[in-house]
Amino acid sequence: MERVSGLLSWTLSRVLWLSGLFERGAARQPRIMEEKALEVYDLIRTIRDPEKPNTLEELEVVTESSVEVQEINEDYLVIIRFTPTVPHCSLATLIGLCLRVKLQRCLPFKHKLEIYISEGTHSTEEDINKQINDKERVAAAMENPNLREIVEQCVLEPD
């Protein structure tokens, strides 16, 4: 009971915060889209961990509740919060990269994407969150052939 109400108040505060960012007259209440969230989850759960021979789902790096999809003014905002297995900086940013690439390529509906480390799971989470949400840094990282290769292996569709 406690957990549900915590989630609800977090969602409400997020909705209010987002509404405040729109200019007068254009504010709409974002609608939470559960079906779309499952569609997203289906794509990310099979991503392989960069180090271990398991998927992100198996390692509980992502779970169904990791994904939130909001519909704002006919556009979709996808928010993912993941829990890295170890508090290692480079691995966390690598997982962030894999999530972004997979969705960019495979998600059929137009969307904006925000990826975060679940609060309290990493000492430098602000730094990591900033990096993985900076599209220029992401683009530059993907031009690195070694990094690219690892990402490609992780997002490869299971047979």
Which parts of this chain interact with other proteins (CB under 8 A)?
18, 20-23, 72-73, 75, 110, 112, 130, 134-137, 139-140, 143
**CA end-to-end distance (rounded Å), the chain:** 40
Alpha-carbon span 149 to 135, nearest angstrom: 19
Quick one: tokens of 42? Answer: 């289906």
Dihedrals phi, psi of 116, to nearest 5 degrees: -135, 155
CA angle 45, 48, 54 (to 5 degrees): 95
C-beta closer to other proteins: residue 49 or 68: 68
C-beta closer to other proteins: residue 4 or 21: 21
Find the shortest distance in angstroms from Cβ 60 to other proteins.
Answer: 30
Find the shortest distance in angstroms from Cβ 21 to other proteins.
Answer: 5
Find the shortest distance in angstroms from Cβ 130 to other proteins.
Answer: 7
Find the shortest distance in angstroms from Cβ 30 to other proteins.
Answer: 11
CB–CB of 68/30 below 8 Å?
no
C-beta closer to other proteins: residue 45 or 137: 137
Hey, is 77 helix, strand or coil?
A: strand
